[in-house]
Amino acid sequence: MSLTLSLKPPLLQALSAFLPADCRDKGISLDVLRCDLIHPLLSGNKWYKLKYNLQAAQAAGQQTLLSFGGAWSNHLHALAAAASLSGLRSIGVVRGELPEPLSACLQDARAMGMTLHGIPRNRWPDKYDERFVTGLRERYGDFYLIPEGGANLAGIRGCMGMLDTVNTSDFDLIAVACGTGTTLTGLICSTSTPVLGVQILKGEDYLAREVVQFCGQYDLQPRAPYRIESDWHFGGYARTTPALLAFIREFSASSGLPLEPVYSGKLLYALLAMIRQGNIAAGSRILLIHGGGLQGARGFPALSQPQTW
Ligand SMILES: *Cc1c(COP(=O)(O)O)cnc(C)c1O
């Protein structure tokens, strides 16, 4: 059993030269781990979260993978790619009725062979209920179910490998954007370097609870101290402000680092603001995790710079 996927180890890139002067003056150095570049279609942390899920599905003889996400889900996009490259079928259960026309993300997913199944938003909270899942099995046949965002033990274990090619003792802080907290949990269980998680969804404390819940449920021992910043969601998931979009355009243009507004843009904006505010120690050597997700930038017409993903 082998996946026919060819992935590159992520590149480490120096960004210090592109820091604004008021951050450089504090002796901050910044490198970025380009997980967005590991594969042209299967980008970023989503591949790490899918890797062991795919292996488990194949080991169980499952030919079909099913998961959940919104119309711009990086997770469904990556799942469609991973399934197609591995010769597996995929089903994407989409939050809300399927948009007309389909988002570019869902168009890609369908073109990669994913079957799309929209459900009304009010039924979304019940999507893991046995009755609903049984209904999906009656309709589509048996499948291996991956929770939304790849948020399970296999997903965390995959993320424990994200830093495999990095000497983390070269850094004082690792910064990562967080949705479900799966990636953050994998990182804190695999390094002893302190980790900063920037929460990109609204919801006081939900992320901190999630990480504790993961560790308890799966009997994981964090090795790194970690801290979660929950004030940088810009109004909520995928919400933006003109200032955030302008920052992304300007930083991407000057540094060449592609960013999108849902995760990496908010992460870097938050990080620079925290450095300025003195919330991050002067002299820190920071590693930024680029989690990919650049396909999602197509959902923001205000970002007119060419995006490679
Ligand atoms: C999904 C995603 C995240 C969040 O990962 P979680 O493991 O859900 O916290 C961060 N960055 C990008 C680019 C993503 O696509």
Rounded to two decimals, the pTM is 0.96
Q: How far is the CA of 46 from the centre of ligand 1 (A)?
A: 7
pLDDT category of residue 206 using cuts at 50, 70 and 90: very high
Rg for the chain, CA atoms, rounded: 19
Do the Cβ atoms of 280 and 173 come closer than 8 Å?
yes
Q: What percent of the chain has pLDDT over 70?
A: 97
The pick from 157, 178, 260, 294 for probing ligand 1's pocket by mutation, whose C-beta has the most ligand atoms within 8 angstroms, reads 178
Per-residue confidence (pLDDT) for residue 5, from 0 to 100: 72
The pick from 263, 264, 290, 300 for probing ligand 1's pocket by mutation, whose C-beta has the most ligand atoms within 8 angstroms, reads 263
Q: How far is the CA of 167 from the centre of ligand 1 (A)?
A: 22
pLDDT category of residue 6 using cuts at 50, 70 and 90: confident
d(CA 52, CA 72) in angstroms, rounded, equals 23
What are the tens digits of pLDDT across the range 265-300? 999 999 999 999 999 999 999 999 999 999 999 999
Q: How far is the CA of 149 from the centre of ligand 1 (A)?
A: 8
What are the tens digits of pLDDT across the range 91-124? 999 999 998 999 999 999 999 999 999 999 999 9
Q: Is the pLDDT of residue 229 over 70?
A: yes
What are the tens digits of pLDDT across the range 67-93? 999 999 999 999 999 999 999 999 999
Lining residues, ligand 1, CB within 6 Å: 44-46, 74, 149, 177-184, 263-264, 291-293
Q: How far is the CA of 89 from the centre of ligand 1 (A)?
A: 23
Q: How far is the CA of 25 from the centre of ligand 1 (A)?
A: 30
Per-residue confidence (pLDDT) for residue 204, from 0 to 100: 85
